A and B are shown apart, each in its own frame.
Chain A
Amino acid sequence: MSEQETAKPTAKTERSAAAKWSRRGFIGAGVLAGGALLIGVGVRPGNPVGKLKAKVAGGAGEELVNSWVKVGADNVVTAIIPHCEMGQGAHSVLAQMLADELDADWSKVEVMQAPADGSYIVSDAARMFVAPFTMNAADWIEPTWDGLFTQIGRLADVMITGGSSSIRTTGQYQMRIAGAAARKMLIGAAADEWGVPTSEITTRNSTLIHSGSGKSAPYSDFAAAAANQPMDSSPALKDPKDYRLMGKSKRRTDIPAKVMGKADFGIDANIPGVELSDLSYAAVRRAPVPGTKVTSMDAEAAKDMPGVQQILNMGSFIAVVADGYWNAQQALNTITAEYSASESPIKTTADQFAAFRDAIDAAGDDGGEQAASKGDAASAFADAATKLEAEYSAPFLAHAPMEPVNCTAWVRDTDDGAKCDIWTSTQVPLMARSAAAGALGMDDEDVTVHHPFLGGAFGRRLENDYVTMAVRVAKATGYPIKMIWSREEDTQKALYRPADVSRFKGGLDAGGRLVAYNNIFTQRHDPAEASVPGIYDIANTSVRVAEAPLHLPFSAWRSVDHSQQGFFIESFIDEAANAAGADPLEYRLSMLGANTARHKGVLEKVAEISNWSTPRGEGIGLGVAIIESFGTVGAEVIEVDMTSGRPKMLNVWAAMDAGYVMNPDGFRNQIEGGIVFGLTAAMYGEIELEDGAVKQSNFHDYQMLRMDETPAIEVAIINSGTVPIGGAGEPSTSPAAPALANAIFAASGKRLREMPFAKQFA
Chain B
Amino acid sequence: MIEFTINGQATSLDADPNMPILWIVREKLGMTGTKFGCGIAACGACTVHLDGEPVRSCSTPLSAAEGRAITTIEGVAGEDGALSAVQQAWISEQVPQCGYCQSGQIMSATALLRDNPEPSDEDIDAAMSGNICRCGTYKRIRQAIKVAAGLETAQSEDEAQESAA
Contacts and interface: CB of A to CB of B under 8 A. Distances in A.
B133 interface: yes
Given A255-B96, A676-B136, A708-B125, A261 B72 contact: yes
B161 A402 contact: no
B110 to A, nearest CB: 11
A24 interface: no
A487 B37 contact: yes
Contacts of A259: 83, 87, 90-91, 95-96, 99, 102, 106
A251 B139 contact: no
B43 interface: yes
Contacts of B45: 402
B132 A402 contact: yes
B135 interface: yes
Interface in A286-303: none
B139 A713 contact: yes
Contacts of B23: 324-326
A219 interface: no
B92 to A, nearest CB: 8
Contacts of B132: 402, 699, 704, 706
B64 interface: no
B44 to A, nearest CB: 9
A704 B139 CA distance: 15
B38 A306 contact: no
B27 A324 contact: yes
B164 interface: yes
A458 B96 CA distance: 16
B98 A402 contact: yes
A61 interface: no
A529 interface: no
Contacts of B101: 402
A270 B27 CA distance: 10
A329 B141 CA distance: 33
Contact of B160 (A255, A605, A665): A665
A268 interface: yes
B165 A605 contact: yes
Interface string B95-130: 111111111001000000000000000001110111
A521 B40 CA distance: 38
Q: Which one of B97, B131, B165 has the highest number of Cβ atoms from chain A below 10 Å of its Cβ?
A: B97
Contacts of A680: 136
A661 interface: yes
A281 B26 CA distance: 12
A132 B106 CA distance: 40
Contacts of A455: 35, 98-100
B102 A264 contact: no
A267 B134 contact: no
B133 A402 contact: yes
Nearest to B37: A402
A401 interface: yes
Contact of B33 (A250, A262, A453, A677): A262
A700 B27 contact: no
Interface in B134-148: 134-142
B16 to A, nearest CB: 6
A705 interface: yes
Contacts of A249: 94, 157, 160-161
Given A665-B160, A717-B163, A672 B137 contact: yes
Contact of A88 (B19, B97, B130, B142): B97
A559 B132 CA distance: 21
A735 interface: no
B74 to A, nearest CB: 5
A519 B82 CA distance: 59
Smallest CB-CB A-B distances: 7 pairs: A261-B33, A676-B136, A455-B100, A87-B98, A258-B99, A87-B97, A261-B73
Interface of A: 86-89, 247-252, 254-265, 267-268, 270, 276-277, 279, 281, 306, 324-327, 329, 400-404, 453-458, 484, 486-488, 605, 661, 664-666, 668-670, 672-677, 680, 698-700, 704-708, 710, 712-713, 716-719
Given A254-B96, A261-B34, A717-B165, 16 more contacts: A255-B90, A255-B99, A259-B91, A259-B95, A264-B32, A268-B32, A277-B28, A326-B27, A453-B99, A665-B155, A669-B140, A672-B137, A676-B133, A677-B134, A700-B42, A716-B165
